[in-house]
Amino acid sequence: MSENTQRASIFSLPVLSWALYDLANTMFSMSIVSLYFPLWVVNVMGGTDQLYGNANAFSMALMFLTAPVLGAISDQANRRMPFLIASTLLCVLFTALLGIGGLLLSILFFIIANYMFQAGLIFYDALLSEVSTMDNRGRVGGLGIGLGYMGSFIIVGLGLMVVREEAPETLVTMFRLTAILFLLFALPCFLFVKERQRRAAGISWHVVQGAFLQVKHTVAHARMFPGLLRFLVGRVFYTDPVNTVIVFMGVYVTNEVGFTTTEAQVLLLVAIAAAVVGGFLWGIVVDRQGPKRTLNMVLILWMLVFAMAIGIAVFQLSKNLFWIAGGLAGVALGGTWAADRPWMLVLSPPRYLGEFYGLYSMAGRFASIVGPFMWGVVVNTLGWGRPAAVGLLLVLIVIAFGILQKVDDAPRDWPPELRIAASG
């Protein structure tokens, strides 16, 4: 298959195969990171929020520290697929082992599985250039996102059929099914996405050292462009609460609001559906109002969601009110990504877009470390409870809102040398 054939249509076999991997890995994220594994840890095995939060934070910290190395190694090897296959197979293996040998061993397996899942995303995202052209890259990426949401629906729908409140072992069954489905839907990507032949460079300690030096250089470089670093700092403060609520939403609604496991699964389906619709609608708002005003509205919506979550639990209001909060959270989730990516594009000169999107990604990863760790400290170390942890998330959103007000989203008039994408 020629390069042009592979990348000609978004409905070609390689493109659809690439996008199916998004469906596969989203199944893992929803099932293991967000829902069934944390419920098993806390509600079945008697573990604490802090134990699960720290495990999540530790795996993300490992990824944060090693991501530049992984990227540099794959760049030097000029291949992504072998690394994607290896990381996926290891993730599948350790996902299948969850629930074996007790709580602590499963926590260790989870750390390894989540690290491998996150590593796979680095290699998978880089393969987008192999199955798309500059003309259809947005549509191809959008296809992956759409199938990713479908993966969430499939895994939660399966959970509604498999998981039973009176039979906790059915949660372990979901771990096995998730591993099988991850592998099944990842196989087309392994088989039908072909990388262009390139000459591989040698991999050495200098390559690894250079990857970390590049990160340091990029941070210093970003200071030259007004608003960019301030935006990234603000991004840490608002993605921290967003990532944390994704991790602990299932535990919160079952233990603080009074939802059954079945109701928690349906709530997540409602939130996902709202995120799909919200992402589309917020995209229209971005085009009309600009990314800054849109993100301001989204952050205010997050403030309302967190305030509702606290009030429903503290004042023991009707749990039915949380259906509204969950739907609004989904709308806010879709709007977060719909607004912050275009804002980043405004702030970054085209010539250094790849370089600065590396910082953008690192800001998100750092937030994924801090949020779950802080949740555990508030809930278990300090003993303040889950509503107080949500209160902390609310405070972080308010801080992010304040930080971002001094960053504008006016189109930049970049000089010619910054408007041209870097060669090579």
pLDDT in tens, the chain (424 residues): 455 555 556 678 999 999 999 999 999 999 999 999 999 999 999 999 999 999 999 999 999 888 877 877 776 666 789 999 999 999 999 999 999 999 999 999 999 999 999 999 888 887 887 887 767 766 787 788 788 889 999 999 999 999 998 899 999 999 999 999 999 999 999 999 988 765 655 556 676 677 677 777 777 877 888 899 999 999 999 999 999 999 999 999 999 999 999 999 999 999 999 988 888 888 889 988 999 999 999 999 999 999 999 999 999 999 999 999 999 999 999 899 888 888 988 888 877 776 777 788 888 889 999 999 999 999 999 999 999 999 999 999 999 999 999 999 888 888 877 776 544 3
What one-character-per-residue DSSP string does 41-88 give? Answer: IIIIS---HHHHHHHHHHHHHHHHHHHHHHHHHHHHHT--HHHHHHHH
Q: Using CA atoms in the order 42, 48, 49, 52, what is the torsion angle rounded to 10 degrees?
A: -80
Residue 369 CB coordination number (10 Å): 21
DSSP state of 382: S
Question: Are 234 and 404 a contacting pair, CB within 8 Å?
Answer: yes
Give the domain ranges of the chain.
Answer: 1-193, 215-424
Q: Do domains 1-193 and 215-424 have the same CATH topology?
A: yes
Take residue 343 and report the two structure tokens written for it: 């804002």
CATH of domain 215-424: 1.20.1250.20
227: three-class secondary structure by DSSP: coil
pTM assigned to the model: 0.88
Query: What is the CATH topology of the domain spanning 1-193?
Result: Growth Hormone; Chain: A; (1.20.1250)
Question: Are 247 and 239 a contacting pair, CB within 8 Å?
Answer: no
SS (H, E, C) 90-152: HHHHHHHCCCCCCHHHHHHHHHHHHHHHHHHHHHHHHCHHHHCCCCCHHHHHHHHHHHHHHHH
